[in-house]
Amino acid sequence: MANRLLGQERSVVAPEAGTTRDAVDTPLRHEGKTLNFIDTAGLRRRAKVKDEVEFYSTLRTERAVERADVCVLVVDAADGLHTQDVRVAAEVWERGSALIVAVNKWDLIEEKDSNTAERGREAVIEQAPFLAAVPFVYVSALTGQRVRRILDLILQAADQRARRIGTAEVNRVLEALIQRNQPPQRGGQEVRILYGSQIGTAPPTFAVVSNAPEALPEAYQRFLINGFRDAWGFAGVPIRLKLRRRRGRR
């Protein structure tokens, strides 16, 4: 089954992949808020796009991802998360949208226990580590099992994506992270992190000022991002880190 971005339940559905062609906007009220669902066609690799109709369906889906605040990636429980699903998830993450993975047809998985879902999630995270920050929800569109949970997760992710952390709190957490793990030094130069602040939302973006930002490797940047996530959550939301050099007299 082709992966797709979830929309509200529609009056005409089919179990086969490729039923949806156009991106369909559907408003829905939940917990006093209006959600605008964009039900899209599944995304496929370019090599698999065989005809003109499917090509434009894929293009409309990509544009829907661009304007979405929260994307729900629906995958088939029996098929699992394939390479193409991971590519779609990575594209959503890179664009700065929040992400939720909904594993559909969970009711059809017969041989499962209380740890089946978690084992599957851990296997997926080994393949794509960024998915450790993404909520997984196991649902059945047929029976309605945990479908309302998706709506709650959407609201939570939207709130987290717009969340702002005060500068004093950012620097408190940043100082604790530096104390735990000092930035790697470069040759005879002392590399110091001076302070940080949040400079944007949707997605949350943090500036970290250093005397030598070019000397902070990607591994250390990931350490800081993971530390921010441990401190403030941001479940399902990508965190951006901008490295800046201290301004002042040489």
Domain ranges of the chain: 4-161, 167-245
Lowest mean pLDDT among 4-18, 24-38, 115-129, 226-240: 4-18
pLDDT band, residue 10 (cuts 50/70/90): very low
Percent of the chain scoring above 70 in pLDDT: 81
Backbone angles phi, psi at 71, to 5 degrees: -110, 135
Residue 21 has pLDDT above 60, yes or no: no
| Helical ranges in the chain per DSSP H | 52-67, 83-95, 116-127, 147-161, 167-180, 218-232
**More confident position, 248 or 103:** 103
pLDDT band at 209 (very low <50, low <70, confident <90, very high): very high
- State phi, psi for 6 to the nearest 5 degrees: -70, 140
Q: What is the pLDDT of residue 169?
A: 98
pLDDT in the model for residue 66:
83
Q: Tell me: pLDDT of 90 over 60.
A: yes
Q: How far apart are CA 41 and CA 89, in angstroms?
A: 15
Q: Domain 4-161: which CATH class?
A: alpha beta
pLDDT for res 58: 60
Q: What pTM did the predictor assign?
A: 0.82
In this prediction, residues 60-82 reach a mean pLDDT of 85
Residue 33's φ and ψ, nearest 5 degrees, are -125, 150
At residue 57, the pLDDT reads: 54
Considering the chain, what is the average pLDDT of its residues? Answer: 85
pLDDT surpassing 80 at residue 215? yes
Helix (H, G, I), strand (E, B), or coil: what is residue 245?
Answer: strand
DSSP codes of every residue in 79-121: T---HHHHHHHHHHHHHT-EEEEEEE-GGG--S--TTHHHHHH
List the 70-76 sheet strands across, edge first.
Answer: 4-5, 70-76, 98-104, 136-138
- pLDDT recorded at residue 80: 83
Stretch 187-202: mean pLDDT, rounded? 93
Taking domain 167-245, whether its CATH number is 3.40.50.1780 is answered by no
